[in-house]
Amino acid sequence: MDRVPVFVGIDYHPSVVQLCVKDAAGRDLGRARVGDSCEEIFQAVERFGQARRVAIEACCGAADLGEELADRYGWSVDLAHPGYVNRMRQTPDKSDLTDAQLLADLTRVGYLPKVWMAPHAVRELRLLVRHRQGLCNDRRDTKLRLRALLREQRVKEPPRPWTRPWLAWLKTSDAISAQGRWVLDEHLAHLEYTLARIKAAEAHLEQLTKGDQVVARLLEEPGIGRVTAWTLRAEIGRFDRFRNGRQLSRFCGLTPRNASSGKKQADAGLVKAGNPQLRAALIETAHRLARYVPRWKDMKQRLKGRGKSGSETAAAIANRWTRGLYHRMIAA
């Protein structure tokens, strides 16, 4: 006898998981609060029927849970975009149960706003790339604190900061007070430690991506270095999951947002979407392209001639270049 196909919504937390199970007609068949265990989730759902589709709101740990459920039990698991799911809510009230019910309903009727569930290897690469970026942010913040200390003590700096002569002056200058010197040495020690950790992270990334065909292909592109290639590989994952270049560019947060109403047609800046690190890497790539590649240098001059600012010009070049990159990566 065939089992009843059911649709499952899962509101995931590291300590407890709220389930809601619905049939094809939208009737609640059951609900349960179980531990963070695939076995407990499977047993709770199996009491009501065979899982046809399962929806989990994307959050930390959700992809690992979804991948394990799919691998072990053959379930069709989708991750849901939390922002879009929240906009579909018809009540200001929120609870784990209402979240699970909404997810089950959305996957049942085919309106679930899905998020790509990156494979394990891509998630591991993301972990390393974002760790490296965190170290770089720490390096930047330390440098800002150090120079703020110099301004606080009204110390006149030599030109060209962070060069070797500048650092040599910084380590030996007697224009800094005794306590200021102690704090400054602490910042310098932390900076050296952070730089060593960044180098270690980059060496680990180099080893991990050795033999990765996507990274190798990205490195063939003008203006693309190791860090940009790692970032694109980690955050985009697979280029063929997009239908066209425009969709990829929008995912990266590089396309203008339409703000038209009635007879008014207008743009409202870039879309508020995409990973900030990915978008920053592509904007930096656009600046390099506009400096060295004739095609993009010409485009920069045309846009500047029309009164566009430097940031608008870089965004436009990044948008156009990313669309072309999609077709080159698909063809490779």
For the chain, 332 residues long, give each residue's pLDDT as a single digit of tens.
457 899 999 999 888 999 999 999 999 999 999 998 999 999 999 999 999 999 999 988 999 999 999 999 999 999 999 888 888 887 777 889 999 999 999 999 999 999 999 999 999 999 999 999 999 999 999 999 999 999 999 999 999 999 999 999 999 999 999 999 999 999 999 999 999 999 999 999 999 999 999 999 999 999 999 999 999 999 999 999 999 999 999 999 998 877 666 666 666 677 777 789 999 999 999 999 999 999 999 999 999 999 989 999 999 999 999 999 999 999 87
Judge if pTM exceeds 0.85: yes
Homologous superfamily in CATH for domain 5-115? ATPase, nucleotide binding domain (3.30.420.40)
Q: What are phi and psi of 51, to 5 degrees?
A: -65, 120
CA–CA dist 36, 14 (Å, integer):
6
Find, among 288, 282, 286, 283, the residue nearest to 231 by Cα. Answer: 282
Q: Which residue has the tokens 């077709």?
A: 327
Decide: residue 55, CB within 10 A, 0-12 exposed, 13-18 middle, 19+ buried.
Answer: buried
Question: Rg of the chain's alpha carbons, rounded to an integer?
Answer: 25
Q: Are 247 and 271 in contact (CB under 8 A)?
A: no
